[in-house]
Structure 1
């Protein structure tokens, strides 16, 4: 699907960052991936400054506009001060906001494709 191309996703990340929503998720980036069966994976990495776990955003399945945030297993225990926990909460909120934004953009894109196909 075209909405999973690296160029499209980078444009959407730039658009999201420009909104300034909860910091804009400025540290997120599109991962370099080899297309599987000619389809881009659509993997967006969201580094967390306040945790050692990896977080990424990805479409649920090929052809589906739904996205999910995935938290990988953490390699070690994380101990944080109250202020650092608040910072982590802000980061997770940014990841959720970005995931919702990517899902909205994907739904809009799929709707445009369907409308164009009807014309």
Structure 2
């Protein structure tokens, strides 16, 4: 008897937090504090929005799926409200933060592909 996973909404806050915990525990990102945003579900499905605050820039970065039901994720870097001047060391720090955001985005995409495959198999 197959276990139905449809009881776990795709990209629910709980599921995304579990994925973030898994990513953090793996040490893959080397630091950073990402969190799942509280959002209203879209058409009955959680939308999945992960915020990644940057310590070395005045802009916001977030990770989000391309669309409901699609496993692809993107990193969005919002326009900066002001000019940022950084020392070479701070630029390296910012690069590390953006690298972490890219690693996390790739991880979420891999997890989404696997999750969708499991849902299809269990259907």
Quickly name the TM-score band, shorter chain normalised.
Answer: over 0.9
| TM-score for both structures, normalised by structure 1 | 0.94
Greater percentage in helix = 1
The number of residue pairs the alignment matches comes to 116
Structure 1: 5+ residue stretches without partners:
none
Provide the alpha-carbon RMSD of the alignment: 1.1
For structure 2, the residue ranges without an aligned partner over 5 or more in a row are 1-7
The Cα shift of 1:24 comes to: 4.4
Q: State the match for 1:98 in structure 2.
A: 104
Assess if the C-alpha contact under 8 Å between 1:51 and 1:78 holds in 2: yes
Residue 40 in 1 paired to residue 46 in 2? yes
Kindly report which structure 2 residues correspond to 1:99-114, keeping only aligned pairs within 5 A, or say none.
Answer: 99-114=105-120
Instruction: Report runs of 4+ in structure 1 exceeding 4 Å deviation.
Output: none
Deviations 1:90-113 (A, max 9, x none): 000000000000000000001111
TM (norm. structure 2) is 0.91
Give secondary structure in 1 for the equivalent of 2:62: strand
Aligned to 1:16: 23
Structure 2 CA distance for aligned equivalents of residues 108 and 24 of structure 1:
25
